[in-house]
Chains A and B, each alone.
Chain A
Amino acid sequence: MTDGIKVADVGEIDEGEAISVSRDVAGTDDDIAILRDDDGEFYALDDTCTHEEASLADGWISDGEVECPLHAGKFCLKTGAVLSMPATRDTKTHKVEVRDGCVWLFPGEPAAS
């Protein structure tokens, strides 16, 4: 298990918005999307859609789901489970913590389900 990485101040990511953390920084196979739901909660998923080459950090986030900006495949923010065609494979979650007004990412460590 890795130590957490500070990826942003809470105020830097609006509700319904996301950022992408480079794999070089995260030390993972894929970039990681830090996604903030419209209720203010933070989640992290592998950034690349499991369907085609697309960044989920560019997607539409609301109501516990992220919709891929290209082909409208959907994933559960909490579990990474695929929720809609044309995507058919689940994606990976990563643990995120909010501490002292900052967002901490634990790359490779699955979110508690």
Chain B
Amino acid sequence: MESTTPTAAAAAAETTESLSAPGLRKAGDPTRGSIKRPTELAPNIDVSGLVDSESGLLDRAIFTDEQIYRQELRRVFAPSWLFLAHEDQFKKPGSFFTTYMGEDPVIVTKDKSKTIRAYLNSCRHRGARVCRADFGDTKNFTCTYHGWSYDLEGKLVSVPNKAGYPDSFDTKDWGLVEVAQVQSYRGLVFGTWNPEAPPLAEALGQMAWYMDAMLDKDPEGTVVVGGIHKWELEGNWKLAAEQFATDWYHVNMSHASALMVMSPTGKGPKDEIVHRTGRQYVDPNGHGAGFPVHPKNRFDAQTVHQYYDYDVLRERLGDARVEGPLTNGHATVFPNFSYLPVNGSIRVWHPKGPDRMEVWAWTVLDKSMPPEVREAQRLYNLRTFGPSGIFEQDDGENWSEVQAISRGFVTNGVPLNYQMGMGSEIDDGRHAGQTSELYSDAAGRSFYSKWRDLMTTPAWHEDTE
């Protein structure tokens, strides 16, 4: 475990706002005055009847209902650690990358002390974004509407016609709203609005053991290769996050044509490859990872396969990881960050309403890889899991298919089956934490249990009086 980027919010408390909740205001806060939200604006639905983890059943309303979706933004996304970016994207002070936390636009940047920090990308004056670029290098974030300008520390440093404001107006009160905690795990930068969230390492728990199989192959760490692909899909974000947590089951059916094309003979993979066995990690915090287990598991791209010395990797990461989660597999870090070790694809499923998501995908590879190996892996990733990749297309088709019909009245009321591998979780003595079978819904049940728990628990920002 490591946490390389210190939390900056505490140090910056005097100059930037941390998130205070709608409806919850500090006495005498000049930025809130007598603003107080009526609780009716954010009604909370009891979703405990929609997720039956014990019977392995799920009500489809969780994929379609607008009120549930808005509650998710408040109770699932706002309190959780969310993936923001890779450290490699911030070479120097002023490097920035804009992304989303739930539906909240954020700027991730490196300040003058080289600390990675994140801010709500919305001007405190009229609310426009203060950074309209996807990424780049800057010295300030200036709103294009009226010109309020903020520095890399989030401080409001320029207000045109400042003389027009009352004496009580103090720029110190109007800095960018800062993400409460920003921490890294092996180059991956996460943030949470929740000042009370446990440290990232604690939230990841034993999931980190599996993540290390992808992120700790190289003592030098990982880098981002090429651009970040972004595409939009019809489909609730959970459909994708759930699949990456718990679903090897679909592989031979959904990806049959891709597997046929990719096999050396063109006639399909051998029976023993199709019917591999493996394990599925089931994390109590909703994370999940599945992977075939075989002594000769390998990276698919030939150049990449030849580059790795599997004996060295065995020494570094242990036999269990090299024969399991190092190569083929899938994983989700709750709620909406997923990755595929075989091609270094990491992705966020950004929610865009109950029925839409945006997929943002990076390719992350070992820093020590020579250029030709990186290029081979980049191309392999594009071919398989890029936006038009032969596997990615199959997955998107399935999620959109499920979503497209789920608003039907009768359809929506028919519960879905998540019963595979009921009660199969064990300590297998070889892999971290509890594991189930390769073909199992166990991590999915855990994913939705965690979702239900968050959805039924008031978040830190809620006024519970």
Contact A53 B158 (CB under 8 A): yes
Q: Count the A residues whose beta carbon is within 8 Å of the partner chain — how many? A: 10
Contact B139 A71 (CB under 8 A): no
Is chain A's interface secondary structure helix, strand, loop, or mixed overall?
Answer: loop
Q: Nearest Cβ in chain B — how far from A94, in angstroms?
A: 23
Q: Nearest Cβ in chain A — how far from B34, in angstroms?
A: 31
Q: Nearest Cβ in chain B — how far from A55, in angstroms?
A: 10
Q: Does A70 contact B (CB under 8 A)?
A: yes
Residue of A with least CB distance to B160: A52
Q: Does A27 contact B (CB under 8 A)?
A: no
Contact B142 A72 (CB under 8 A): yes
Which 9 A-B pairs have CB atoms at the shortest separation, nearest pair first? A69-B139, A70-B149, A71-B147, A70-B158, A52-B158, A69-B140, A58-B139, A70-B140, A70-B142
Q: Nearest Cβ in chain B — how far from A68, in angstroms?
A: 9
Q: Would you list which residues of chain A between 75 and 113 have a CB under 8 Å from chain B? A: 86
Q: Which of A53, A58, A69, A70 contacts B147 (CB 8 A)?
A: A70
Separation of A52 and B140 alpha carbons in the complex (Å): 14
Q: Does A54 contact B (CB under 8 A)?
A: yes
Q: Does B432 contact A (CB under 8 A)?
A: no
On A, residues with C-beta under 8 Å from B are 51-54, 58, 69-72, 86
Q: Nearest Cβ in chain A — how far from B324, in angstroms?
A: 50
Q: Would you list which residues of chain B between 107 and 162 have a CB under 8 Å from chain A? A: 139-140, 142, 147, 149, 157-158, 160
**Cβ of A52: which chain B residues have Cβ within 8 Å of it?**
147, 158, 160
B interface, size bucket: under 10
Residue of A with least CB distance to B144: A72
Residue of B with least CB distance to A72: B142
Separation of A71 and B144 alpha carbons in the complex (Å): 8
**Cβ of A54: which chain B residues have Cβ within 8 Å of it?**
149, 158
Separation of A32 and B10 alpha carbons in the complex (Å): 36
Q: Would you list which residues of chain B between 190 and 239 have a CB under 8 Å from chain A? A: none
**Cβ of A72: which chain B residues have Cβ within 8 Å of it?**
142
On B, residues with C-beta under 8 Å from A are 139-140, 142, 147, 149, 157-158, 160
Residue of B with least CB distance to A71: B147
Please list 18 pairs of residues, one from A and one from B, whose beta carbons are closer than 8 Å in the complex, sorted by A's number: A52-B147, A52-B158, A52-B160, A54-B149, A54-B158, A58-B139, A69-B140, A70-B140, A70-B147, A70-B149, A70-B157, A70-B158, A71-B142, A71-B147, A71-B149, A71-B158, A71-B160, A72-B142
**Cβ of B139: which chain A residues have Cβ within 8 Å of it?**
58, 69
Separation of A70 and B157 alpha carbons in the complex (Å): 9
**Cβ of B149: which chain A residues have Cβ within 8 Å of it?**
54, 70-71
Residue of A with least CB distance to B159: A52
Separation of A72 and B140 alpha carbons in the complex (Å): 11
Q: Nearest Cβ in chain B — how far from A3, in angstroms?
A: 33
Separation of A51 and B157 alpha carbons in the complex (Å): 14
Contact A86 B147 (CB under 8 A): yes
Q: Nearest Cβ in chain B — how far from A80, in angstroms?
A: 21
Beyond the given A51-B160, A70-B158, A71-B147, please list 9 additional residue pairs across the A-B interface where CB-CB is below 8 A. A52-B147, A52-B158, A52-B160, A53-B158, A70-B140, A70-B147, A70-B149, A71-B142, A71-B158
Q: Nearest Cβ in chain B — how far from A60, in angstroms?
A: 8
**Cβ of A53: which chain B residues have Cβ within 8 Å of it?**
158
Q: Nearest Cβ in chain A — how far from B139, in angstroms?
A: 4
Q: Nearest Cβ in chain B — how far from A18, in angstroms?
A: 12
Q: Nearest Cβ in chain B — how far from A23, in angstroms?
A: 20
Separation of A54 and B149 alpha carbons in the complex (Å): 10
Separation of A71 and B160 alpha carbons in the complex (Å): 9
Separation of A70 and B142 alpha carbons in the complex (Å): 6
Q: Nearest Cβ in chain A — how far from B138, in angstroms?
A: 8
Separation of A58 and B142 alpha carbons in the complex (Å): 14
Separation of A105 and B140 alpha carbons in the complex (Å): 28
Contact A86 B158 (CB under 8 A): no
Separation of A52 and B146 alpha carbons in the complex (Å): 13
Q: Nearest Cβ in chain A — how far from B439, in angstroms?
A: 56
**Cβ of B142: which chain A residues have Cβ within 8 Å of it?**
70-72
Q: Nearest Cβ in chain A — how far from B152, in angstroms?
A: 11
Q: A70-B147, A70-B149 are in contact. Are A86 and B140 (CB under 8 A)?
A: no
Looking at A51, A52, A69, A70, the one whose CB has the most chain B CB atoms below 10 A away is A70
Residue of B with least CB distance to A60: B139
Q: Nearest Cβ in chain A — how far from B156, in angstroms?
A: 11
Residue of B with least CB distance to A55: B139
Separation of A39 and B397 alpha carbons in the complex (Å): 53
Separation of A71 and B149 alpha carbons in the complex (Å): 8
Residue of B with least CB distance to A49: B158
Separation of A29 and B142 alpha carbons in the complex (Å): 27
**Cβ of B158: which chain A residues have Cβ within 8 Å of it?**
52-54, 70-71
Residue of B with least CB distance to A59: B139
Residue of B with least CB distance to A53: B158
Residue of B with least CB distance to A51: B160
Separation of A69 and B147 alpha carbons in the complex (Å): 11
